[in-house]
Copies of this chain bind each other. A is one copy, B any other.
Amino acid sequence: MNQSLLPASRCLQPVSHLRKINGSVRGFATAFNWEDPLVASELYTEEELAIQDTARQYCQERLLPRVLDAYRNENYDRKILEEMGELGLLGASIEGYGCAGASTVASGLITKEVERVDSGYRSGMSVQSSLAMTAIYEFGSQELKDRLLPGLAKGKIAGCFGLTEPNHGSDPGSMETVAREHPTKKGYYSLSGTKTWITNSPISDIMVVWAKLESGGKIRGFVVERDQCPPGTLETPAIKNKTALRASITGLIQMDDCPVPKENMFPDVEGLTGPFTCLNSARLGIAFGAMGALEDCLSRARTYALERKQFKGNPLAKYQLIQKKLADAATDAAYGTLAATQVARLKDDGKSTPEMISMIKRQNCDRALANSRILQEIFGGNATSDEYHIARHAANLFVVQTYEGQSDIHTLILGRAITGVQAFV
């Protein structure tokens, strides 16, 4: 060690430049691996890798065979939640209540494997895990947690999350759904209002709904239980003819003086802190998930480019313009995976901030979407056949980019964080 490089006081310990990033030494990567170009796998523990393998095996063997039919017919199989529950994939980073208690990184890897098959399937899982379960786990009373989390973890209970309204998407603070003292049922609130674009609402047993208290106008969270709602007070019609995410089910939550017991209100959180906490959890998952979808696009495009021959028997993979599309996608997938991993690690260490999650949600979704579209070009007209899967990914990723904070909104969150000046209005 050249002493002049360091002030004397800093020179006490030797430089250990062969220090491992993680404890497990898993053999030398002697060759470039296009599926993991920057060897993100080195950043994961054995346990995390094992969880990823379990999730991958399930997704490829059980979800992939169902997705074409589900997407064509807008038909979400309710049993998927139970299957995921059996494997411990739901609420995987929650401690207790029958949950896996895995790291945030492991949860992200699960998400990535599900979205490798379909963003809609991942949405169905995310709304259960990151939104409904996280809301109850973080903000619910002990009674609610004890009563609901185990069933949610097993997928026996299906949950959803009602924040967005027909007139308020990017600006949830202006929500119109209201909670007032129930005029007749003592100990109850009465909820009225409409939530829309709610993944899983038509099949949900319980709904986490955010509403403004009539007195004071503060936003509060409620757990609405379907089987406790009198007829006519709760409707959850499905939205059909969607242009994407057709393998998930989406609907409204229409509440008309819907009575909810006061103990179903989250006791200690008000304002947007509640929903934003859940959204942060979901967005981190999306940052992983989008990389799964992108990796699947890349893998399928690569295979197609090697098998499809045009002009003198050359595979498409032989052409420079094709190689550029593949190289760009591989790069963005590798970079995005590193960034998501880093933020998940920081979260587990208590060092993450919402702005970091805005950064990776925005960037990973933007790049996944852009690259999926460019990779789609490799398939030419054949991309129009849904059996090549690429058009489905590209259509889905548009929604993934736009929900849970459209990219422009995250741009402005980042802009504010960088400059200290807000530019929303």
Contacts and interface: CB of A to CB of B under 8 A. Distances in A.
Contacts of A382: 169
Interface string A385-425: 11000011001001101110011101110111111110111
A225 interface: no
Given A311-B171, A425-B312, A331 B359 contact: yes
B346 A29 contact: yes
Given A411-B324, A425-B314, A392 B32 contact: no
A351 B39 contact: yes
Contacts of A164: 381
Interface stretch (A46-54, A130-138, A204-212, A258-266): A46-54
Which one of A102, A335, A339, A410 has the highest number of Cβ atoms from chain B below 10 Å of its Cβ?
A: A335
Contact of A353 (B19, B31, B104): B31
Contacts of A23: 19
A415 B86 CA distance: 41
Contacts of A63: none
Given A343-B38, A418-B326, A51 B5 contact: yes
A328 B408 CA distance: 11
Interface stretch (A92-100, A183-191, A273-281): A92-100
Interface residues of A, number: 149
A384 interface: yes
B197 A384 contact: yes
Contacts of A317: 415, 419-421, 423
A383 B244 CA distance: 9
Given A2-B101, A5-B87, A334-B339, A45 B19 contact: yes
A310 B171 contact: yes
A402 to B, nearest CB: 5
Contact of A100 (B1, B334, B410, B424): B1
A215 interface: no
Given A318-B423, A319-B320, A323-B418, A384 B244 contact: yes
A324 to B, nearest CB: 5
A284 interface: no
A117 B407 CA distance: 29
B415 A17 contact: no
B395 A243 contact: yes
A6 B320 contact: no
Contacts of A338: 335, 338-339, 342
A350 interface: yes
A135 B395 CA distance: 36
A399 B384 contact: yes
Nearest to A412: B323
A306 interface: yes
A88 interface: yes
Contacts of A28: 350-351
A50 B10 contact: yes
Contact of A415 (B327, B336, B376, B418): B327
13 contacts: A2-B100, A7-B54, A18-B348, A29-B352, A32-B417, A42-B351, A164-B381, A243-B385, A317-B423, A320-B412, A322-B423, A334-B359, A381-B403
Interface of A: 1-7, 10, 13-23, 28-32, 34, 37-40, 42-43, 45-48, 50-51, 54, 68, 72, 86-89, 92-93, 98-106, 164, 167-171, 174, 197, 239, 241-245, 250, 302, 305-306, 309-312, 314-315, 317-324, 326-328, 330-331, 334-336, 338-339, 342-343, 345-346, 348-356, 359-360, 362-363, 373, 376-377, 380-386, 391-392, 395, 398-399, 401-403, 406-408, 410-412, 414-421, 423-425
